[in-house]
Amino acid sequence: MSDPAALFHAQRALAPARRSGFGRAERLAALEALRRMVLDNRPAIVAALEADFGKHPVETLLSEILPVLQEIAHARRHLRRWMRPRRVWPGLTGLGASARIVPQPKGVALIIAPWNYPVTLALGPVVSALAAGCSVILKPSEMVPQTSALLASLIGQCFPPDLVAVVEGGPDVATALLALPFDHIFFTGSPEVGRIVMAAAARNLTSVTLELGGKSPVIVGGDADLAQAARWIAWGRFFNGGQTCVAPDHVFVEAGVAARFSAMIKDETARMWAEPGNLARVVNARHGARLRGLIGDAAAAGAAVSGGQSAGDTALAPTFLEGTTEGMEVSRQEIFGPVLPLIPFSDLDQVLARIGAGPKPLALYVFGGRALADRVVGQTASGSVGVNLTLLTFSHPNLPFGGIGNSGLGAAHGYEGFRAFSHERPVLTNRFLPMAMLFPPYTMGVRRLTDLLLRLVR
């Protein structure tokens, strides 16, 4: 069954039964099946990502397989606690009642995955949905055809289509899916497409989790360990060919250490990424042309370019830009590739004002001492903050991952992922509620009791 509407209605028909019949044992079994699927097919996953955009096998293991296995292990370990109803204090008007919150599966979920981490960002939300007791229709990205076909084949062998199904295709298929009245939509992609997804969800009043992007800045203070900063930023920027939603997009570096830092990060980048095959390709020729256009526009406007050798449409070496200005395209667009502007600063207030004037980024990184980190955290807004590190804000199992404003809506991973696909249903049970004493008719005694209540909550 590959028709999106038919798949949806098959899953929807079983949603009421699954609400009560898909308990902890069934969810654990589904998560174990997913774990075995990933473990048993590691070579095929590595080969698919190598074919789609030249991802190094070690990078695939670290960024596509390890995060999914960690997510599954974390969910299995904590599922009993997550599913347990929580008792809450009833408050003044609820005295005499028992109050609890019962997590229930929202129902049928749509997951639209991107191309840049096509396994992690597809299967990670599937873990959360299964842990919450939802069924899933997964739409992988058509821009990574080998990985998309592999996911469709493996999931088709692993799960019945009324629990987890894959629908392949391009924007027309995504549009058809978004027209259906799903109970939750989890989308990872660009802010531009995120707006389309949110508008489609609004037509059915469907809840959404939007994991979007943004220009994630880095601040390197004068008191930073420059060798540490160079190492982490060179890794974070060029990992996966720079095609990471939380990658450092540009670096503000204090003017007094800017020259030293520039030399150090270029040396560190050469050490990490010079060997052939280490750096992933740009995903396709269109994105390659876009990146070369950003470099060319900056160079034409006076920026200095280091690196950037290009071999064909999709092979672009790490590139550094110095002397960029806010009017350049590279300063306005999310770069999403192996290009990194280095921007000296002498006034931190101006840097913080510049960050605050733009859309809120998905991540922000700061390298330096505690005072600098506290100031940056206190005076900026972003989805997450990394201090003296990059990228790892995504993978911590006990931290919510998500954006704010232009960079996203809602959170994922661990308990927050479970919550995203769950309805936290309040249940209030009358045991000996005195509230009936305030029912009409509104006698003088009722009025006195009402006045007493008001005095108690002042």
Q: Indicate whether 82 and 8 sit together in one domain.
A: yes
Output the average pLDDT for the chain.
Answer: 96
How many distinct structural domains can be found in the chain?
2
Q: Indicate whether 234 and 161 sit together in one domain.
A: no
Note whether residue 287 is domain-resident: yes
Note whether residue 395 is domain-resident: no
Among 334, 362, 387, which residue terminates a domain? 387
Phi, psi of 321 (to 5 degrees): -120, 130
Note whether residue 355 is domain-resident: yes
Phi, psi of 63 (to 5 degrees): -110, -10
> Whole-angstrom Cα distance, residue 182 to residue 222?
50
**How many CB atoms sit inside 10 A of residue 423's CB?**
18
Note whether residue 419 is domain-resident: yes
Which CATH number is 169's domain given? 3.40.605.10
Which residue, 145, 73, 146, 138, is CA-closest to 112? 138
Average pLDDT over residues 109-124: 98
Average pLDDT over residues 31-57: 97
Q: State the pLDDT confidence band at 309, using cuts at 50, 70 and 90.
A: confident
Q: Indicate whether 265 and 351 sit together in one domain.
A: yes
Q: Indicate whether 172 and 223 sit together in one domain.
A: no
User: 354 with 325: CB under 8 angstroms?
Assistant: no
Phi-psi region of 205 (alpha: psi -120 to 50; beta: other; left: phi over 0): left
Note whether residue 442 is domain-resident: no
Which CATH number is 226's domain given? 3.40.309.10
pLDDT of residue 203: 97
Residue 172, domain extent: 4-212+404-425
241-270 pLDDT, tens digit each: 999 999 999 999 999 999 999 999 999 999
Note whether residue 310 is domain-resident: yes
196-228 pLDDT, tens digit each: 999 999 999 999 999 998 899 999 999 999 999
Note whether residue 107 is domain-resident: yes
pLDDT of residue 36: 98
Of the candidates 211, 254, 268, 334, the residue annotated as catalytic is: 211
Q: Indicate whether 68 and 149 sit together in one domain.
A: yes
Note whether residue 451 is domain-resident: no
The number of CA neighbours under 13 Å toward the Cβ of 125 is 33
Taking the alpha carbons at both ends of the chain, their separation in whole angstroms is: 60
pLDDT of residue 458: 79
Q: Indicate whether 157 and 184 sit together in one domain.
A: yes
Q: State the pLDDT confidence band at 353, using cuts at 50, 70 and 90.
A: very high
Bridge partners, residue 185, by sequence: 110, 208
Catalytic: 245?
A: yes
Q: Indicate whether 224 and 329 sit together in one domain.
A: yes
Q: Indicate whether 82 and 9 sit together in one domain.
A: yes
Q: Indicate whether 60 and 202 sit together in one domain.
A: yes
Q: Indicate whether 133 and 230 sit together in one domain.
A: no
Q: State the pLDDT confidence band at 1, using cuts at 50, 70 and 90.
A: very low
Q: Indicate whether 318 and 285 sit together in one domain.
A: yes
Among 359, 387, 415, which residue terminates a domain? 387
The residue type at 295: I
